[in-house]
Amino acid sequence: MMTDPTYNDDDLVYVDPETRSVVGKVEWDKDDRPKSIPYKSSTGKDHWRRFFPFGSYRSMKKTFRLEGKSKEADSDLSLDEVLPKFFDDAL
């Protein structure tokens, strides 16, 4: 695991879903494809996860809540309050 917790939102990173932490930045093979890092507990036939998932830091921190629980903005608004905002932005 990397000790530096600062990543840009556009960095591609591997994530450990169990500990909700970043394993490291994505490494590339000689054919310019991302390397697959074997999952630490992928031994045995019954385990379905074979490799660490990877993606942009922005999407991984939302998916796996890397920086704690994130709250959606305007989540306490009613549907009547949200619809006018949606239609105003769509124009």
Q: What is the pLDDT of residue 1?
A: 43
**Structure tokens given for 84:** 């006018």
Q: What is the pLDDT of residue 2?
A: 43
Q: What is the pLDDT of residue 71?
A: 58
Q: Where are the domains of the chain?
A: 1-67
Residues of the chain with pLDDT under 50: 1-4
Residue 84 backbone dihedrals phi, psi, to 5 degrees: -60, -35
Q: What is the pLDDT of residue 44?
A: 58
Q: 46 to each of 4, 7, 36, 43, 54, how far by Cα in Å? A: 34, 34, 20, 8, 22
- CA angle (60 as vertex; 90, 8 as ends), nearest 5: 85
Which of the 8 DSSP states describes residue 74? T
